[in-house]
Amino acid sequence: MKKTSTRLADGRELIYYDLRDDVVRNAVDQRPLEPTVTTSEIRRDPLLGDSVAIASHRQGRTYHPPADECPLCPSRQGRLSEVPDASYDVVVFENRFPSLAGDSGRCEVVCFTSDHQASFSDLTPEQARLVLDAWTDRTAELSHISAVEQVFCFENRGAEIGVTLQHPHGQIYAYPFTTPRTALMLRQVAAHKEATGGENLFDAVLERETADERVVLAGEHWVAFVPYAAHWPYEVHLYPRRRVPDLLGLDEAARTEFPQVYLELLRRFDRLFGENESPTPYIAAWHQAPFGQLEEFDGVSRDDFALHLELFTIRRTSGKLKYLAGSESGMSVFINDVPPERAAERLREVASS
């Protein structure tokens, strides 16, 4: 992997990640951009104890542009975009309309390929490995920013999810706090450790889940399953078999196997609802241990956390979506219409031949 860092016309950082070492990246952003102005602010909810990002400048962000005006495609034939070069393998840049900025954190866009019509599942294993390496590199770099406490790499795909740019891409949020979801996990880990005299909760869950009928795909270094208490109609958790706290902890064997396992999972998701259905909308979310101090979680260290990816779709059946209505949105109590055992069975049925 070759890494080349440059600056866009408004001062934002852009980084090329290339498969070949002999690629030269010296294109200059020719757009007449003014410096980016953000109004991101973090406010803490005193009743729930969580944080909310107030980012009014995002109202003006790019919204469903036509393909020939896509800001994530390379700059070609006189049309200038967020990527100055005429081609790229993987590129990462600071979001022009960030939810988090300055002391409130940082937001980055990750473009998986220059092919506007592709999807992550269309990547070759070599390309998917490059994305993994870019996620890992950005996690390492962002963790050194003093304001950053947790790094979250994720992909939203599909208009049904709320995606406003169709080009295959994901995002990275560098939060200045430990997210509520992660804090819940850490509290559960702490309670389980105390109750069992030191047993790791992630290890116990993984052992139970991989012994059950909900395993979807198993490799030598990774295992994917539908969790016992799945929140979403089709939800898969992907774990490395060796517990590590973050992407930086993966060894070469796990990195090598990841593309084959993950690409197969994504392709199965696209086959779930038949050929006549639009590509399956999904969210793919990496859960990593916070880089900040964990004193509030008694007896828990970063090494007690288990890196894993959660992949789920809001489509519950052909032509129907799972909406977060009163119970889910009002009380955070999910109601799942698809039994996890049936979801796992269906995901095995649509395996590649």
Catalytic residues: 169
What are the backbone dihedrals phi and psi of residue 16, each rounded to the nearest 5 degrees, phi first? -90, 135
CA distance 135 to 183: 22
- DSSP-based three-state secondary structure for 240: strand
CA distance 189 to 237: 17
Contact 132, 123 (CB under 8 A): no
Query: Which residue blocks in the chain are alpha helix, DSSP H?
Result: 125-143, 180-196, 201-210, 252-271, 331, 340-349
Whole-angstrom CA distances from 22 to 139, 255, 273 are 25, 23, 43
What are the backbone dihedrals phi and psi of residue 39, each rounded to the nearest 5 degrees, phi first? -125, 30
E-strand stretches of the chain: 2-7, 13-18, 41-44, 51-54, 90-94, 106-111, 150-157, 169-175, 215-218, 222-225, 234-240, 282-287, 308-313, 315-317, 320-321
Of 125, 92, 95, 123, the residue nearest 107 (C-alpha): 95
Of 126, 142, 170, the residue nearest 1 (C-alpha): 126
| Tokens matching residue 198 | 């030191």
In the block, tokens 């070069």 appear at 85
CA distance 267 to 351: 8
Max intra-chain CA distance, the chain: 65
| C-alpha distance across the termini of the chain, in Å | 32
